[in-house]
Amino acid sequence: MAVALVLVLAFAISVPGFAADFELSSETTQGVPVTFGVAQSFLVTIPEAVALDANGEGSGTVSVSDAILPFGESLTVTITGATNYDAGFRLKDGDNDSFIGYAIKKGENLIQKDIAFLTVAAGDSTGSIQLDFAASAATIAGQYSDNLTFTVAVA
Amino acid sequence: MKKAISLILVMLLAFAICVPSFAANEPGGTTTLEYTVAASYEITIPENVVITEGTGSGAVSVNAGSLILAGEKITFTITEATNYDGGFKLVNGADATILLDYTIANDVTPVVLDEAFLVATAAEANAGKAATLTYTTDDAVAAGEYTDTITITVATVDA
């Protein structure tokens, strides 16, 4: 078995040499490119659900860990979709047409749809943002919800 | 030993071959945001109404800021009157057999027992809505102090 494996290995290594055409008496060198690529990889954690309390407030953390990014690129996380969005984030009351506006903040900064709120540059392996949600005052009681879509991109 | 070295070399080669397999990567995820707004409302019902010279009034209201479930409404109904007998009646304090009829109106609409006289949708309740009830007695046949007690029931029901 050992012999067979070594033969296979020797065959594989010798493959690049077939194309060269050597003269018997000359001394020839042949460069052998050696590459070692590292695939980009990362782990992004997005909360499955965020429940707002009786005051209409809640928070959730979006985090990036174990990021290995190509040189010169960065990873971004963006809210690209919100089910009830209409010039602003809105919660909807079940099948009723009742809406409550809400804001998403990162600290004191408002988070906008389609604008990245978390960026991790190549060389950094982690990043984390706490998103704070705050609903406007309700005028109608009910069970409100919205669904946010987060998009992670490396560019 | 040879077997071990061979295996390691083959593994290294296999690893080297796998490296260039970069892939486009645009993953994402979703978050469901949930918010429950509990129903709550504040109402005002006068503790008592004094009728002078045959008329009196009192305002009943659901106050601004009240929260009613969407698809529901809040109703105000007189469901009981102590001396009711086919109509609202005041009873003489000195002689319970002496009764004095009176009517209740919401603006110009007569208020009837067991029929809602004030209804507010969720939006109306949040804005606040009121009804001023006017109490009007018939002419009395005996002097004295007359009283009655009415019960106003407030309920939220399907709109």
Count of C-beta atoms within a 10 Å radius of residue A76: 19
Any CB–CB contact under 8 A between A35 and chain B? yes
- Percent of chain A, pLDDT > 90? 72
Q: How many CA atoms lie within 13 A of B89 on its CB side?
A: 14
Query: Is residue A72 within 8 Å of A122, Cβ to Cβ?
Result: yes
What pLDDT was estimated at residue B113? 96
pLDDT (tens digit per residue) in A118-130: 999 999 999 999 9
User: What is the DSSP secondary-structure string of B96-118?
Assistant: TT-EEEEEEEETTEEP-TTSEEE
Any CB–CB contact under 8 A between A47 and chain B? yes
User: What is the DSSP secondary-structure string of B53-84?
Assistant: TTEEEEEEEEPTT-B-BTTEEEEEEEEEETT-
Which residue in the set B6, B7, B35 is minimally distant from A135, CB to CB?
B35
- Name the pTM for this structure: 0.70
Measured at the CA of B49, the angle between CA B45 and CA B55, to 5 degrees, comes to 130
> For A137, which DSSP code?
P
Nearest-Å Rg of the Cα atoms of chain A is 27
Answer yes or no: do B30 and A148 touch at CB < 8 A: yes
Which residues from B are below 8 Å from A43, CB to CB? none
Q: ipTM score of the complex?
A: 0.71
Residue ranges in chain B whose pLDDT is less than 70: 1-26
Answer yes or no: do B10 and A38 touch at CB < 8 A: no
What pLDDT was estimated at residue A95? 76
What pLDDT was estimated at residue A25? 55
pLDDT band at residue A29 using 50, 70 and 90 as cut-offs: low
Q: Which of A27-36, A86-95, B14-23, B116-125 has the lowest mean pLDDT?
A: B14-23
A interface test, pick of B37, B69, B72 with most A CB neighbours within 10 Å = B37
Q: What's the longest Cα–Cα distance across chain A?
A: 94
CA-CA-CA-CA dihedral for A8, A11, A12, A14, to nearest 10 = 160
Look at strands A49-52 and B28-37 and give their pairing: parallel
pLDDT band at residue A138 using 50, 70 and 90 as cut-offs: very high
Question: Looking at the predicted structure, is the pLDDT value of residue A133 above 60?
Answer: yes
Size of interface A-B (CB pairs under 8 A): 145
Which residue in the set A9, A44, A152 is minimally distant from B6, CB to CB?
A9
Average pLDDT of chain A is: 85
What pLDDT was estimated at residue B74? 96
Nearest chain A residue to B69 by CA: give it: A141
Answer yes or no: do B35 and A80 touch at CB < 8 A: no
Which residues from B are below 8 Å from A36, CB to CB? 16, 19
Any CB–CB contact under 8 A between B37 and chain A? yes
Which residue in the set B22, B23, B38 is minimally distant from A141, CB to CB?
B38
